[in-house]
Structure formats: structure tokens, C-alpha cells
Amino acid sequence: MMNRNALVRSIPLLCLTTLLPTLVQADEFDASVQWARRVELSTPVSGVVVEVPAHTGERVRQDQVLLRLDSKVRAANLEQAKAQLARQARLRSEAQRELDRSQELFNATLLSEHEMELARIGADSAEAELQKAKAVLAQAESDLKYSDVRAPFDAVVLQRFAEVGQTVATQLQVTPLFVVAQADVMIARTTATLAQLRALKAEQAVTVKVGGRSYEGHITQLGAEPVPKRDESRYAVEVTFATKGAALRAGEVAKIVVP
């Protein structure tokens, strides 16, 4: 028979053994992997495709050129706009000098009110033409810039819809030329019951398991409305995680582990 002292010493050990499974227990949710950012890329200008250096499945860096349109005409338009702006700037300066001279003469009562008003109108017209030239230059710069389609961030090319020689006509309809997704960051989506949802917190650290590997993530969305289900109401939960360079794909099966 266990004596009284031995029984007392065994109580903390028994309690710890009983509580240990509860302390290390973690909730697991079945989930699926999806892209964190998926973007369709196009261009607001029209033209003929002359180069498509990017391919489906390729990883690209931010600002890397994915497609080029023929830009010879747009480059010429830009140079013409620069020359026109320089001309209008000189005309505006001359109109301002004329206005200053007219003001001096008017103050000395050597110029009529009508002549003074004409000088003001001339200066205003020169300023308006200068601003118009600036707008034309800005449009020409924008058109030349968008002759290239570039990656908006480090990405994976999911789809490519353009080939060399293809004509892009944006006046009729903006057509996607590429679909890209952000590289190295993905989300895991799952659903939870209301009771489970109440135990979770936004930005809470969790672990995402995919294909035998674990990734550290955090909860970025807790649904406010239930997702329709037959048996019970469940709420959407999203976890954002870094893939550490692993080539994961949308639709892969995952588990979200909440400590």
C-alpha cells in the first residue's frame, strides 16, 4: 500500500500528466492554398507586339519587361512634344516681358486701358498654350512608358495571351495580356464554426503545412458572414504565409495548425 507521503508526492506528477495533452493540443483545419495577389495585366495603348520575353510558369522580378509594343511612333511623338514645350516656354516668357513693359507704360499713363488689356490677354494665352504643351508632353511620356508591360511585383506568370506580331487595340476593349501572381506569398483558406472562430484572432500566428513542409503565417481574415453549408454555419478564415521560395501552386491541400 502506498504510504501517505508517497501519495502526496505523486499528486503533482499525476496532475501534470493529465494536463499535458491539453497543453500541447493544437487545432487543425483542412485548407487549400490560393494566390495572395493575382493580377491581369494589360496596357492602355495600342500597337503591334514586337517582343514577349516572359513565358508561362516563369518567375519574374518587379519591373521586369514582360511584353513590348512597337514604340517608334510614340518615341517620335515624345520628342515633338518636348520641342513644342520648349517653344511655348519661350513664347510665355516673351509674353510676360511684354506684359511687364506694358504695365510700366500704363503706370506712366503712356498706354491706354485697351492696350493694357491686350497685353494681359496675350500673357494669359501664352500661359494657356504652355500648360497645354505640358499636358501633351505628359501624355506622350505615358504612351511611351506603357509601350512596355512590366511586372508590378515579384511574380509568377500564370497565363500569357500575347505573341509577337499580335495587334493590341485598346480603343475597342482592354484585353488581358498576362495573368501574374505574387511570388513567395500565398494564402491558405479554410472555414471554421462560430465557436472556433471566436477562439481565433486577427494577426494570430499559426502554422501552415503543405506537402510535408511547414510555413509560418498569420491570420489575415476572419469572416463576418457565414459561408452556406448544409449542416452548420461556417465562417471563412484566411492565413497569409511566406513560401520561402517553394514552388507551391493554387489548389494544393494544406492544414492550418493553430497552437
* 48 and 84 housed in the same domain: no
Give the residue with greater pLDDT, 11 vs 249: 249
> What band does 26 get if pLDDT is binned at 50, 70 and 90?
low
Residues 185, 165: Cα–Cα separation, whole Å: 34
- CA 199, 201, 207, 208: dihedral to nearest 10 degrees? 90
For position 228, which CATH number holds?
2.40.30.170
Q: Classify residue 50: in a domain, yes or no.
A: yes
The residue out of 94, 122, 145 marking a domain boundary is: 145
pLDDT tops 60 at residue 185: yes
* 63 and 152 housed in the same domain: yes
For position 96, which CATH number holds?
1.10.287.470
Tell me the mean pLDDT in the region 70-75. 96
> What band does 170 get if pLDDT is binned at 50, 70 and 90?
confident
Q: Classify residue 168: in a domain, yes or no.
A: yes
Which residues lie below 8 Å from residue 13, measured CB to CB, with a gap of 6+?
none
Q: What is the DSSP string of 82-95?
A: HHHHHHHHHHHHHH
For position 171, which CATH number holds?
2.40.50.100
* 225 and 243 housed in the same domain: yes
Tell me the mean pLDDT in the region 34-54. 96
Residues 245, 252: Cα–Cα separation, whole Å: 16
The residue out of 165, 182, 199 marking a domain boundary is: 182
For residue 165, the enclosing domain spans 38-70+147-182
Query: Grid coordinates 501572381 are at which residue?
Result: 181
Tell me the mean pLDDT in the region 108-121. 94
Give the model confidence (pLDDT) of 135-152 as tens digits: 999 999 999 999 999 999
Half-sphere exposure of 145 (CA within 13 A, CB side): 7
The residue out of 136, 167, 182 marking a domain boundary is: 182
Contacts within 8 Å (CB) and 24+ apart, 80-88? 80/140, 81/133, 81/136, 81/137, 81/139, 81/140, 81/141, 82/137, 84/133, 84/136, 84/137, 85/130, 85/133, 85/134, 85/136, 85/137, 87/133, 88/126, 88/129, 88/130, 88/132, 88/133
Closest CA relative to residue 149, chosen from 161, 138, 139, 140: 161
* 190 and 94 housed in the same domain: no
* 174 and 212 housed in the same domain: no
Q: Classify residue 57: in a domain, yes or no.
A: yes
Q: Classify residue 222: in a domain, yes or no.
A: yes
Percent of the chain residues past pLDDT 90, beyond the cut: 82
pLDDT tops 90 at residue 47: yes
Closest CA relative to residue 190, chosen from 93, 109, 255: 255
Q: In angstroms, how far is CA 26 from the centroid of its own chain?
A: 34
* 63 and 151 housed in the same domain: yes
Domain count across the chain: 3
The per-residue pLDDT for 21 is 37
* 153 and 65 housed in the same domain: yes
Q: Classify residue 14: in a domain, yes or no.
A: no
Q: What are phi and psi of 161, to 5 degrees?
A: -115, 10
Q: Classify residue 8: in a domain, yes or no.
A: no
* 132 and 159 housed in the same domain: no
